[in-house]
């Protein structure tokens, strides 16, 4: 089943959700700010995206700027920062089987559905 990691306050995430709704396919919405992925789940997502953990971080968030910017962090420290501060996780993330994309721009979601 298709899964979207969604934040309703984000316009790109809302656009991504609309693409899924219009696809006619079944999907699950994960409100990741309320239901934060575990470290294991984030590692799985990062592996599906085929990126490094730092590429999943929203570096313009104030939390990042205040606490992490300019520091040398290991991959596990970056993942822990996202688990502790889910606002740092880039959005939307859409997973379909063994494929995943960050929906920026939202049209990239169409590639995996």
Catalytic (active-site) positions: 10
Q: Are 105 and 12 in contact (CB under 8 A)?
A: yes
C-alpha span between 8 and 95 (Å, rounded):
18
Phi and psi of 12, rounded to 5°?
A: -65, -40
- In residues, how long is the chain? 113
Query: Other C-beta atoms within 10 Å of 111: how many?
Result: 10
């Amino acid at each position: 089943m298709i899964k979207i990691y969604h934040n309703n306050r984000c316009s790109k995430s809302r656009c991504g959700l609309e693409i899924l709704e219009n696809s006619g396919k079944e999907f699950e919405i994960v409100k990741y700010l309320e239901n934060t992925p575990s470290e294991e789940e984030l590692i799985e997502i990062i592996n599906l995206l085929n990126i490094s953990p730092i590429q999943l971080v929203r570096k313009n968030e104030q939390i990042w700027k205040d606490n992490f910017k300019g520091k040398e962090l290991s991959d596990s420290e970056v993942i822990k920062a996202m688990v502790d501060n889910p606002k740092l996780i880039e959005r939307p993330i859409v997973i379909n089987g063994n494929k995943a994309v960050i929906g920026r721009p939202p049209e990239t979601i169409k590639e995996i559905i």
